[in-house]
């Protein structure tokens, strides 16, 4: 073989081998998940939900900062900012959007029909809200978890009646999330069965809380049911609890963070467990279609009571409630 032929073979091999080596060295693409929330970026509740979500990812072998990238966007209690934050996530090219609570889901739905959206702890019926076609076959680009809190509220009324047997009037406190007509009718029917009259009140901004509670105190309200609201009520949990205590209003909440902050009692889904459920993110990143992943309802409901608070407002929990309580705060 001539020297010229040998040089030609070496050159040909180098052309073939070098691109293969370059391809082999190219790093694998790291998927990106956007998390959209109306809540403040700081605070114990936000930190607990974030820790639970990332722990759930790790249990499924997704390690933030290594084989998955997380982009958090918080509206700081200002729902009007959610749509802009959702657009930001779309511009980043995220693979999945995890939308926490109804306002975030609605904002994400408005800005993308292509990127999969995981509902995380929506407190309203996702079918009535227009997010999905059915629990079993969601259709479209949205799936995830629902708390269906409207089904819990009749039970919450019953708990109030057990604690205050002579109760006749209950205020239902909402924030920025309006009560759907279907849910209102269900709640009114439950109230009628317990011989209760309801008064619906709203706090659209944190600054409304003092006046709302003062107005309730002046209308002979005997107890309070606090609905889900990630924008006004939950970010101001200590204030809501303090005002209920100030006006000596027995109150039932849906998050255990309220009785832990001094509220009387809560009955609802275990939100730490809900946020730990990273199953949907895992399945979607591995190629599943959101339209084919059934929406889950909560399987674990917790009753938490605060005995110290009951004493402070002159109440005693009946043995029937203490026996059913998952946690009793002394």
The residue among 101, 125, 79 whose CA lies nearest residue 35 is 101
Annotate 29-78 with DSSP letters as a single string: PPPEEEEEESS-SSSHHHHHHHHHHHHHHHHTT--BTTTBEEEEEE-TT-
Q: How far is CA 255 from the centre of its chain?
A: 11
pLDDT exceeding 90 applies to what percent of the chain? 67
Residues 196, 135 share a domain: no
Please state, in angstroms and rounded to a whole number, the distance separating the CA atoms of residues 194 and 308: 27
Asked whether residue 27 is domain-assigned, the answer is: no
- Give me the CATH number covering residue 69: 3.40.50.2300
Asked whether residue 21 is domain-assigned, the answer is: no
Could you tell me if 122 and 98 are in contact, meaning their C-beta atoms sit under 8 angstroms apart? no
Please state, in angstroms and rounded to a whole number, the distance separating the CA atoms of residues 253 and 231: 15
Residues 311, 193 share a domain: yes
Residues 129, 38 share a domain: yes
Please state, in angstroms and rounded to a whole number, the distance separating the CA atoms of residues 235 and 170: 23
> What total of structural domains would you count in the chain?
2
Asked whether residue 248 is domain-assigned, the answer is: yes
Mean pLDDT in residue range 70-98:
96
Q: The tokens of 316 are what?
A: 């005693």
Q: Give 26-79 pLDDT, tens digit per residue.
A: 567 899 999 999 888 988 878 988 999 999 999 999 999 999 999 999 999 888
Residues 320, 203 share a domain: yes
Asked whether residue 8 is domain-assigned, the answer is: no
Please state, in angstroms and rounded to a whole number, the distance separating the CA atoms of residues 291 and 136: 9
- Report pLDDT for 180: 79
- Report pLDDT for 1: 55
Please state, in angstroms and rounded to a whole number, the distance separating the CA atoms of residues 275 and 60: 14
Asked whether residue 18 is domain-assigned, the answer is: no
Asked whether residue 104 is domain-assigned, the answer is: yes
- Other Cβ atoms within 10 Å of 206 Cβ, number: 16
- Report pLDDT for 39: 87
Mean pLDDT in residue range 270-296:
92
CA 119, 124, 125, 129 torsion-angle sign: negative
Residues 157, 144 share a domain: no
Residue 4 has pLDDT above 80, yes or no: no
Asked whether residue 166 is domain-assigned, the answer is: yes
Residue 5 has pLDDT above 90, yes or no: no
On the CB side of 52, how many CA atoms lie within 13 Å of its CA? 15
Q: Which run of H or E residues covers position 141?
A: none
CA 39, 42, 44, 47: dihedral to nearest 10 degrees? 90
Residues 258, 215 share a domain: yes
Residues 108, 62 share a domain: yes
- Report pLDDT for 18: 47
- Report pLDDT for 22: 47
Asked whether residue 282 is domain-assigned, the answer is: yes
Residues 276, 263 share a domain: no
Mean pLDDT in residue range 256-276:
91
The residue among 130, 228, 128 whose CA lies nearest residue 117 is 130
- Report pLDDT for 21: 45
Residues 254, 201 share a domain: yes
Q: Give 194-244 pLDDT, tens digit per residue.
A: 999 999 999 999 999 999 999 998 888 999 999 988 778 988 999 999 999
Mean pLDDT in residue range 124-153:
87
Residues 259, 229 share a domain: yes
Which parts of 108-177 are beta strand (E)? Answer: 117-122, 142-146, 169-174
Residues 136, 284 share a domain: yes
The residue among 276, 261, 264, 265 whose CA lies nearest residue 313 is 264
Q: The tokens of 249 are what?
A: 């209003």
306 contact partners, CB below 8 Å, separation of at least 6: 259, 260, 262, 263, 264, 265, 329
Please state, in angstroms and rounded to a whole number, the distance separating the CA atoms of residues 135 and 143: 8
Residues 323, 222 share a domain: yes
pTM of the predicted model as reported, rounded to 2 decimal places:
0.74
pLDDT exceeding 70 applies to what percent of the chain? 91
Q: The tokens of 19 are what?
A: 């691109």
Please state, in angstroms and rounded to a whole number, the distance separating the CA atoms of residues 300 and 274: 9
The residue among 269, 61, 79, 69 whose CA lies nearest residue 155 is 269
Q: Give 162-171 pLDDT, tens digit per residue.
A: 999 999 999 9
- Structural domain span for residue 159: 149-270+301-329
Q: How confident is the model at residue 115 (pLDDT cuts 50, 70, 90)?
A: very high
């Amino acid at each position: 073989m001539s020297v010229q032929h040998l040089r030609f073979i070496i050159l040909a091999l180098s052309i073939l081998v070098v691109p293969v080596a370059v391809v082999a060295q190219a790093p694998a693409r790291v998927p990106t998940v956007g998390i959209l929330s109306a809540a403040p970026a700081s605070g114990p509740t936000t930190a607990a939900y974030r820790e639970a979500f990332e722990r759930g990812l790790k249990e499924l072998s997704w390690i933030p900062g290594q084989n998955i990238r997380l982009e958090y966007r918080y509206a700081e209690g200002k729902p009007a900012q959610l749509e802009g934050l959702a657009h930001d996530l779309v511009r980043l090219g995220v693979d999945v959007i995890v939308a926490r609570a109804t306002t975030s889901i609605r904002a994400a739905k408005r800005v993308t029909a292509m990127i999969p959206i995981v509902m995380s702890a929506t407190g309203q019926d996702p079918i009535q809200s227009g997010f999905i076609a059915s629990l079993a076959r969601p259709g479209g680009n949205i799936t995830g978890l629902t708390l269906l809190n409207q089904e819990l509220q009749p039970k919450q009324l019953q708990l109030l009646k057990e604690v205050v047997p002579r109760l006749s009037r209950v205020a239902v406190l909402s924030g920025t999330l309006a009560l759907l007509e279907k849910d209102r009718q269900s709640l009114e029917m439950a109230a009628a069965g317990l011989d209760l009259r309801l008064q619906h009140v709203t706090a659209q901004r944190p600054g409304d809380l003092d006046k709302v509670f003062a107005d309730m105190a002046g209308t002979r309200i005997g107890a309070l049911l606090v609905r889900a609201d990630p924008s006004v009520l939950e970010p101001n949990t200590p204030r809501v609890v303090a005002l209920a205590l100030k006006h000596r209003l027995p109150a039932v909440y849906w998050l255990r963070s309220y009785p832990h902050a001094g509220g009387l009692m809560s009955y609802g889904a275990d939100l730490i467990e809900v946020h730990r459920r990273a199953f949907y993110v895992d399945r979607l990143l591995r190629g599943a279609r959101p339209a084919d992943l059934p929406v889950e309802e909560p399987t674990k409901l917790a009753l938490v009571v605060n005995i110290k608070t009951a004493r402070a407002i002159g109440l005693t929990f009946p043995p029937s409630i203490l026996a059913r309580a998952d946690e009793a705060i002394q």
